A and B are shown apart, each in its own frame.
Chain A
Amino acid sequence: MTGTHTLAVDRLVAGYGDRTVIDGLDLTVAAGRITAIVGANASGKSTLLRAMSRLLKPRAGRVVLDGKEVHRMAPKVLARTLGLLPQSPIAPEGITVADLIGRGRHPHQRMLSRWSRDDDAAVAAAMEATRTTELADRTVDELSGGQRQRVWIAMALAQETDLLLLDEPTTFLDVSHQIEVLDLLTDLNLQRGTTIVMVLHDLNMAARYADVLVAIADGKLHLAGEPAAVLTAESVQAVFGLEARIISDPLSGKPLVLPIGRHRMATDGA
C-alpha cells in the first residue's frame, strides 16, 4: 500500500534559460518517511522539487519513480502517485472550499466521467484530516492564511498520492499555524504512510519534523541523513555561511540551531 514507491534523482541538471540551478544532484527519497530539503535562498530547493514532479524538464540526468522516468510518464498517471503543492498556488476568486478541494480529484477522473462516490469520499476524508469540513461552503478568498493553507493541503490530500512534495508549506504562516501544518503532515505520514518531501526555510522546524534532512548548496547535494548528522556547526557554515551553535532541543531531542550574529551576544558563542 504505501512506503513502497521509490523516487530517485540521478545526476540531475536543471535550470531556467541559460542559468543552471541544479548541477549534478543525486538523491534517493526515503520511502514512507518525511524528508525536508534545506538550503540558502536560490540554492535550488524549489527547482529540485519542480524537476522531481515533472514541472521542469531536466537538462541532463533523470528523475526515476518506481523504475520509470517521470518525464516520460503521462501527466495524469504520475499525478495519481506523486502530488505537489507549489509555493504560491493561486486561489481563484469566488471558488468555494469544497470545490477547490475537489479539484484534487482531477487525475482520477476521465474526460467525460461523472463525479463518483470515491471522489466524494476522498474530498470528505481530506476535509476531515485538515479540519476544513466546516469551511466547505465558504469561498477561499474570505479565509485566513492558516485556513487557506489547510485547504490547499486538503486539495493535495484529495489527490490521494502516496508521495507528496510541498514547496515551503509553512511560509507566510504564524508560528502556531506552522506547527499545525507540520503536525498535520506528520499525521498523514504516520496514518497513511505517505512519503513527504518538503522544502522548509526554518532549520529548527525541519530538524524537528523531518526524518531525513537534505542540505543543498549551489545546486549540489551537500549532506543528507538524520537531522543530528546533517545539522552541525560545520554544515550550517558551509550551506548557509552562518556561524551557529547547535544544541539539543530539550523537547524533541533533535538538533536546535542557535545562530551567532554580530550583536546581542551574551557569550562569544563558542
Chain B
Amino acid sequence: MSAPFALPAAAVEAVARGRVRRGRRRRNVMLLLVAILVAAFATTLMVGRSFVPPGDVLRVLFGEDVPGASFTVGRLRLPRASLSVVAGLSFGMAGVAFQTMLRNPLASPDIIGISWGSSAAAVFAIVVLGLDGTPVSIMAIVAGLAVALAVYGLSFRGGVVGARLILIGIGISFMLESFIAYVLEQAPQWNYQEALRWLAGSVNGAGWNQIVPVAIALGAFGAALLSRARHLEILRLGDDAAAALGVRVAGTRIIVIVAAVGLIAFATSASGPIAFVAFLSGPIAARIIGRNGSLLIPAALVGAVLVLVADFCGQFLLGMRYPVGVVTGALGAPYLLYLIVRSNRAGGSL
C-alpha cells in the first residue's frame, strides 16, 4: 500500500493502547452481566414460596432425587428460569438488531408489530387449529416475517423513513392485538392465564418441550446475527457509507431481518410477546457498556436478566402473582414515554 504520512511508532502504540483499553472495559462489563445473569438464575432456583439451599439445588441439577426439592426446583423453577433465560436472550438480541439496523430505538420488533404477528399466529394455531410444538413456531415465524414485510412495504415510498415505519408498525400492532383478543374470546376453554400469555407474555408452566426449540433457534439465528455484527455496526454510519466500506447493505438487511424475526417468533411461540423486553434491552445495554462495538451480546444478556428479575418480582414481590409481561410492561411504558419526549427534542437514536 501507499507510504503513510510520517508516523512515529509511539503514535501506533497510542492507538493500540486506546483500543485495548476500550476493549478491556467492554469485556469487563460483559463479564459482569454474565455474573449478574448467573446470580439471578441461581436466586430464582433457590428462592420462592420455599427456600431450597444451594446444595440441594446443585444435587437436583445433577439429577439426584432430593425429596421436596426435586419437584419444586426440577419441575417448576428450573424450566421456568430456563425459558426466562432463552426467551430473554432471544428478545434482547433481536430487539437491538432491529434498533441498530433501523437506527431508531423505537424500531424494536415489539413496537413495530413483529412480535404481535408471531403472537397472533401462535394463538391462532393453538386455540383455533389445536396445534402445538414446531408447527406453532413455524406459523409464528411466517407471520412475523409477513408483518415485517407488510410494515416495510407499507412504509416504502421511494425509501423508508423511520418515523413512517414506526407509526405503521404501531397501527399494525393494535390490529393484531385486537385479533388476539378476538381469538381468545372465541376459544371454548377461555382462560385468563392463557390470554395474558398471548397479550403480555408469561413463563408460567414452562416445559422442556417449549424450551428446547427456543434454545435451538437461539443457537442458529443468534449465530447468524452474530456473524453480521460488524456489518450491522457499520450500517450505523448510513447505507452509503457502509456500502463504500464494502458492506453488502441489502444482503445484510435480509439476513438480519430473517434471523431477528426467527428469534422473536420462536421465543414468542413459547412465552408470548413478553412486553418491552426487546425494546428495553438494547438501550439499557448501550447505557452500561457504551456505544463502541456491537450490542448484540450485551443486549441479549440484559434481556435475560430483565425477564428473570421481572418474573421473580411478578411472582413474589408484588403481593399477587403477575405474569412477567405485566411487570416488564410497567417498566417499559415509562421508558417509551421518555423516548418520545426526548425524540421530539433530539431525534433520538440508541
Contact = CB atoms under 8 A, between A and B. Distances in A.
Contacts of A94: 286, 290-292, 350
Given A120-B12, A125-B5, A89 B243 contact: no
Interface string A120-154: 11111101110001001100000000000000000
A192 interface: yes
Contacts of A78: 246
Contacts of A128: 5-7, 11
Interface in B122-170: 158
A106 interface: yes
Nearest to A96: B292
Contact of B15 (A107, A123, A129, A193): A123
Interface string A74-89: 1111111001111011
B19 interface: yes
Interface string B1-14: 11111110001101
Contacts of B2: 1-2, 160, 162, 192-194
Given A89-B241, A98-B22, A106-B234, 11 more contacts: A1-B1, A53-B243, A53-B244, A75-B246, A76-B246, A77-B246, A89-B237, A94-B290, A104-B245, A111-B227, A120-B19
Given A53-B244, A98-B19, A106-B246, A124 B11 contact: yes
Contacts of B291: 92-95
Nearest to A55: B243
B18 interface: yes
B243 to A, nearest CB: 5
Interface in B279-307: 286, 290-293
Contact of B236 (A92, A109, A187): A92
16 contacts: A16-B158, A55-B240, A74-B246, A89-B237, A92-B291, A93-B349, A98-B15, A98-B18, A98-B22, A106-B234, A107-B246, A123-B15, A124-B7, A125-B5, A127-B15, A136-B14
Give 3 closest A-B pairs by Cβ, nearest first: A94-B291, A79-B246, A76-B246
B15 A106 contact: no
A122 B240 contact: no
Classify chain A's interface size. 35 or more
A124 B237 contact: no
A192 B241 CA distance: 23
B248 interface: yes
A17 B156 CA distance: 13
Interface of B is mostly: loop
A1 B11 contact: no
Interface in A159-195: 159-160, 162, 187, 191-194
A253 to B, nearest CB: 28
Interface of A: 1-2, 16-17, 50, 53-55, 74-80, 83-86, 88-96, 98-100, 102-104, 106-107, 109, 111, 115, 117, 120-125, 127-129, 133, 136-137, 159-160, 162, 187, 191-194
Contacts of B350: 92-94
A103 B246 contact: no
A100 B237 CA distance: 9
A242 B16 CA distance: 52
Contacts of B16: 117, 120
A84 B244 contact: yes
Greatest chain B CB density within 10 A among A16, A80, A102, A109 is at A102
Interface string B228-260: 001001101110110111111000000000000
A125 B16 CA distance: 12
Name which of A90, A115, A191 has the most chain B CB atoms within 10 A of its CB: A90
A85 B5 CA distance: 20
A77 B230 CA distance: 17
B194 to A, nearest CB: 41
A136 B245 contact: no
B240 A89 contact: yes
B234 A136 contact: no
Contacts of B248: 75
Contact of B233 (A54, A103, A111): A103
B244 A55 contact: yes
A136 B15 contact: yes
B7 A121 contact: yes
Nearest to A17: B158
Given A55-B243, A96-B22, A90 B103 contact: yes
A54 B243 contact: yes
Given A85-B244, A121-B7, A124-B11, A99 B238 contact: no
B237 A92 contact: yes
A75 B292 contact: no
Contacts of A83: 244
Contacts of A17: 158
A159 to B, nearest CB: 7
A194 B243 CA distance: 20
A137 B230 CA distance: 21
Given A78-B246, A106-B247, A194-B2, A92 B349 contact: yes
Contacts of B238: 86, 88-90
Given A120-B19, A125-B5, A90 B247 contact: no
Nearest to A193: B2
B229 to A, nearest CB: 10
B108 to A, nearest CB: 16
Contacts of B241: 84-86, 89-90
Nearest to B251: A75
A132 B14 CA distance: 13
Nearest to A162: B2
A53 B2 CA distance: 20
